[in-house]
Structure 1
Amino acid sequence: MTLWGELALDGPRRSVTVEREYPATPAELWAALTEPERLARWIGRYEGTPDGFRLAMGGPDADAVVDGRVLTCEPERRLLVTWRFTGDGQVEAPTELEAVIEPAGEGRVLLTLTHRRVQAVTAAVYGAGWQDVLTHLARELGADASPQEHDGYLGEAADPAAFDAALDEYRSAEAALVAATMTREGERSAVSLRRLLDAPVDEVWDALTLPDRVGRWLWPVVEWPDDPARERRLRQGDVMRLGDENVDGAVQVLEVLDLEDRAHLRFTWGDAAVSIRLTETGDGTLLSLEQDGVKDTFGAGRLRSAPDFAAGWHQLLDQLTLLLSGLTVPAPDRLWEAAYLVYSAE
């Protein structure tokens, strides 16, 4: 699969840039980007609102909509809009979408689409999504189209197999932006991760120390220390059990070794320990995770070593990122697989 786009860090969020050439003039492409009847055939049904516009995406029963307003409009050259997606019971944070049109030779034009301030972890979905949507636009403009493409954008992939392949590649590309450092120490592997989170330090600390939050990104809470109701915050010396009681060996016993309010949490991890430090910044909260050296272990029929440990923590911090954004975790196993591809290649 060849990706047309690139992902980049944008503070605690991400930017997505996708390019595609079309057999059209700037005027023809501009019409497809701005005329309601044209938009309905490749991205969504447009309607004006008191504050700007709304795009209804998908079929008649779909709840996926985008609300936005036009910030900059330079006909046949540049369009900049705000973009806020709502769908599947989730409301994403406001973002910005920019379309730039440039001539690309006789009878051809280049469209560069840049989506800024996209929430972390969701950037891969946007990368694959825009790549797919621009394929629908290609059909609208009369370009060559695959047999799988629809006559209009119905909220389904123009080519489902291509979309899934692109999504996996974009996930690995995003994982590489915030990859961990792995260190080999004799028979043990240590992991270091830094992640800038789009949330204040108080919210991050809650996610690290309150049972209803811990169970939604780390592991399900099996037993919380001295608190059958599972309500109180962690304290130094606490011992908790997390995992899945229905699976042999899937429950971890963790002891809190050190705790400094809103700043540091250290707990046991097998025969080693993990430290998490928080630093408030102007853009959010910097989380620094250090896993002490852990021995390679056999599991699921193979040796598990540094790439497995790094991918595991990477996935968990992805889940924490989504929790802090108010979004659900999409296919956690695929997050691990995307990260593992990055670490196993080192």
Structure 2
Amino acid sequence: MTTGPAATGTLGIGPHGRELQLQRRFAEPLETIWAAMTDSAQLGKWIGRWEGDPASGKVTFLMTAEGEDAPPEECEILECSPPRSLTVQTSVGPAVWHLRFELSHQDGITTLLFAQRIGDDPLGSIGPGWEYYLDRLSAVLGGADPAGVEWNDYYPRLSAPYEALES
């Protein structure tokens, strides 16, 4: 019997307040993980792609893993320190998400800390979504097809553990 994915996120305090934090570790160089998180073509393999000029401080992000109907997101780059950290703010309509990631490398292992500032959206929907996407990233970096990561294994199954973090 397979148990499926687990809820790995925790609540923490980041530079901009309370946030949901998730970690993944990879036996890859820091620059490889940086590229997977920031290069449009590599992002397209597991989550989506961006269009525009990052030097302007804004790009449009398209969640290609969501299908053809996903609306484009305005993405403002708030902080970028290659190859260690990136902080962005995305918005679709009135919803605004503050996201960041940090990379560290020690003893041949790159650690990715991915975080979303806690806002109005319930953790029971946010947490399973980021678990899903980060597992798609892990699949791509491991040479597997990210399509093998099934959304139905994450949501609503992981909602309750994330909702429990809010109490």
**TM-score, length-scaled by structure 2:** 0.80
Counterpart-to-counterpart distance in 2, 1:82 and 1:99? 12
Distance in 2 between the 1:55 and 1:68 partners? 6
Distance 1:53 1:96, change over 3 A: same
TM superposition shift of 1:51: 6.0
Q: Deviations over 1:129-155 (max 9, x none)?
A: 111100111122126x6x8x417xxxx
Alignment partner for residue 39 of structure 2, among 35, 42, 45? Answer: 35
Q: Alpha carbon RMSD of aligned pairs, Å?
A: 2.7
Kept in 2, the 8 Å contact 1:51–1:69? The answer is yes
**1:150 paired residue number:** 147
Alpha-carbon shift at residue 104 of structure 1 (Å): 4.1
May I ask how many residue pairs the two structures share in their alignment?
157
* Contact 2:129–2:154 (Cα < 8 Å) also in 1: no
SS, match of residue 139 in structure 1 = helix
What whole-Å deviation, never above 9, does each CA across 1:35-62 have from its counterpart, x for those lacking one?
11111111112111666111111212x1
CA shift for structure 1 position 123: 2.5
Does the aligned pair in 2 maintain the 1:22–1:110 contact within 8 Å? yes
Gaps of 5+ in 1: 152-156, 177-346
Letter in 2 for 1:164: P
Q: Which amino acid aligns with 1:29?
A: I
* Other-structure match for 1:126: 126
Q: Which residues of 2 match residues 192-203 of structure 1 at below 5 A?
A: none
Q: 2:67 aligns with which of 59, 62, 68?
A: 59
Q: CA deviation at 1:159?
A: 4.5
- Aligned ranges 1:59-208 → 2 under 5 Å: 59-60=67-68, 62-84=69-91, 86=92, 91-106=93-108, 108-120=109-121, 122-142=122-142, 149-150=146-147, 158-174=150-166, 176=167
Paired residue for 1:23? 27
Pick closer, same or farther for the CA change 1:18–1:64 going to 2, 3 Å: farther
2-structure distance, mates of 1:65, 1:9 = 29
Structure 2 gaps, min length 5: none
Deviation at 1:9, TM superposition (A): 8.5
Paired letter, 1:172: A
Distance 1:81 1:27 in 2: 19
Report the residue type matching 2:60 in the other structure.
R
Given the superposition, is the C-alpha separation of residues 112 and 9 from structure 1 closer, same or farther in structure 2, using an over 3 Å criterion?
closer
Find the aligned partners of 2:11 and 2:25 in 1 and give their Cα distance.
Answer: 19
% of aligned pairs identical?
24
Contact 1:16 1:116 (C-alpha < 8 Å) held by counterparts: yes
Whose Rg is larger? Answer: 1
CA distance in 2 between partners of 1:52 and 1:34 (Å)? 13
Q: Once superposed, which parts of structure 1, at least 4 consecutive aligned residues long, lie more than 3 Å away?
A: 7-10
CA displacement at 1:110 relative to structure 2: 0.6
> Could you give the per-residue CA deviations for residues 241-282 of structure 1, whole angstroms, max 9, x where no partner exists?
xxxxxxxxxxxxxxxxxxxxxxxxxxxxxxxxxxxxxxxxxx
Whether the aligned pair in 1 keeps the contact of 2:57 and 2:77 (CA below 8 Å) is: no
